[in-house]
Amino acid sequence: MESKLYPIDEVKSLISQGHLLALAGDERVISKLPKGNWIAGTIPYFMDVDKALFTQEQVYVNKLADASENFKIKSFNEDNIENILDDAFYNGFSFVIIPAFQEVHSAYSLKMPNVKNLYDNPVVGWISGIELNSNDIPKVYNGQTGEEFEDSAVIAHVELPKNKMAQLDIVNIFSQDDKSPDIQFFIDSFEVVNCLINGEEKNLAEYITENNLDTKLPLIADYTGASINVSIKEVDAENGIVSFFAPVFANKIYKFAKPINNYVSEFEINVKQLEEKNEFSCNCVLNYFYGELEGKKINNVKGPITFGEIAYQLLNQTLVTLNIYEK
């Protein structure tokens, strides 16, 4: 079954086959779906077969497992977030969908990096969102129970046969700017007042304003070779507060990213390292808007455009893929 956008009638028919599905779509269509083995999140932006587009009428479908395979669907909130992987299978992967701007969103991003069994299997997923001009609320769904959540998240654990293995990959078109100072934070937080800039304590909002820095570019930390972004949400110069779409961590050194000239070509260069076909991929809504990706196509990359990507932990402005292959 091809991962792509489907009209609602076809989605209903796919659900009736009993496979485990991960769905993405506007709440107006998702809420019409019958019960079944599926989890879903709201979003109306997609990278489809031909191009990236906005639609509130179709549903993006990823098959996560055959009806005959082992899987479990659970929901969780900020109180039991540290135990969500205790039910995972020894060999497999976990697929998470979290509603944006809720406690469970911030709790996941702050607590999960320290959860010891986080890396026992790939944990992939995304943050659900809404049309930016609307007053809708991001939601997630557990298709098995028919529940709809605004303040809880859903997770599907999938078991793979012994001869197969799941692996996560990311494509980050941004890289640290060598000219950027080293930035260190005092606490793990979505908001920052003061920080160390090249070892000197300064107000970050003042620094960004004084140096006229482009806030569309993320801060990047080096995770033993992996570049992990944190995108800037707002610089409140008056009150001296900078807020982010993901938390900054106190034990990391961040740098500002190098400017990007052309998002599409940068993605095309970087996705070449990926497998031809992947089970799932998602890209960030900030890349979609800042890079003006609507109507454009990036190689074979398809999937929902999200309010945050999960590759073990919460990421920003990053393309995430999940691959399953023979050992």
Partner 1 sequence: MSMKNIPDKSNEKWADLIQGKLNVPLKNFFFQMKVTQLRTLFNEGKISLDDAIDDAYNLCVKFSNAKNMSNDIEAIFGTTVNKTQTVVENNDVEKPIIDKTVDKKSEIADAKVVFDNEYEKRMAEILRQKKEIEERLNKQIKAREEAEKRAKLEKKRRLMEMERINMKREINEVKKETYQPKEIKFEKKEVKKPVSLNEDAKMKEIERQKKAKYRKVKKKPTKGFFQRWFNL
Question: Least distance to partner 1 from the beta carbon of 239, Å?
Answer: 6
Amino acid at site 50: D
Residues 13-42 that bind partner 1 (CB under 8 A): none
CB of 275 to partner 1, least distance (A): 9
Task: Decide if residue 122 touches partner 1 (CB under 8 A).
Answer: yes
Taking the complex as a whole, the smallest distance from the CB of residue 246 to partner 1 amounts, in Å, to 14
Considering only 68, 133, 212, 261, the residue that binds partner 1 (CB under 8 A) is: 133
Burial state string for 175-184 with b = 16 or more CB within 10 A and e = fewer than 16: ebeeebbebb
Segment 58-97, which members bind partner 1 (CB under 8 A)? none
How many chain residues touch partner 1 (CB under 8 A)? 47
Q: How far is the CB of 167 from partner 1 (least distance, A)?
A: 5
Sort strands 303-306 and 20-25 into parallel, antiparallel or unpaired: unpaired
Nearest distance, CB of residue 25 and partner 1, angstroms: 17
CA distance 23 to 3: 10
What is the spatial distance between Cα 285 and Cα 265, in angstroms, rounded to a whole number? 17
Tell me whether residue 233 or residue 297 sits nearer to partner 1 (CB atom): 233
User: Which of 11, 130, 156, 220 contacts partner 1 by CB under 8 A?
Assistant: 130
The least CB distance from residue 153 to partner 1, in Å, is: 19
State phi, psi for 137 to the nearest 5 degrees. -125, 135
Q: Tell me the CA distances in angstroms from 120 to 22, 90, 92, one per residue in order.
A: 21, 8, 9
Q: How far apart are CA 198 and CA 122, in angstroms?
A: 35
Our CB check for partner 1 shows the closer of 42 and 142 to be 42
CB of 327 vs partner 1, minimal distance in Å: 5
Task: Convert residues 283-322 into a mask of x (bound to partner 1 by CB under 8 A) and - (unbound).
Answer: --xx--x---------------------xxx---------
- Assess contact for 229 and 287: CB atoms under 8 A: no
Q: Could you tell me the sign of the dihedral formed by the alpha carbons of 23, 151, 142, 316, in that order?
A: positive
Least distance (Å) from partner 1 to the CB of residue 161?
14
Cα 66 from chain centroid (whole Å):
24
Q: Provide the Cα torsion 132, 135, 140, 146; round to 10°.
A: -140
Q: From CA 26, how far away is CA 204, in angstroms rounded?
A: 37
* Choice from 10, 50, 234, 294 touching partner 1 (CB under 8 A): 234
Binding mask 146-185 for partner 1 (x = CB under 8 A): -------------------x-xxxx--------------x
Is 208 a residue that touches partner 1 (CB under 8 A)?
Answer: no
In terms of CB distance, is 55 or 194 closer to partner 1?
A: 194
Residue found under tokens 């050194």: 253
Query: Any idea which residue has 């006229």 for tokens?
Result: 212
Nearer to partner 1 by C-beta: 68 or 90? 90
Helix (H, G, I), strand (E, B) or coil at 268: helix
Indicate the residue type of 61. V
The string of DSSP letters for 141-164 reads: EETTTTEEESS-EEEEEEE--TTE
DSSP state of 85: T
Residue 239 binding partner 1, by CB under 8 A:
yes
| Residues in touch with partner 1 (CB under 8 A) | 113-114, 116, 118-120, 122, 129-135, 165, 167-170, 185-187, 189, 191-194, 215, 223-226, 233-234, 239-241, 249-251, 285-286, 289, 311-313, 327
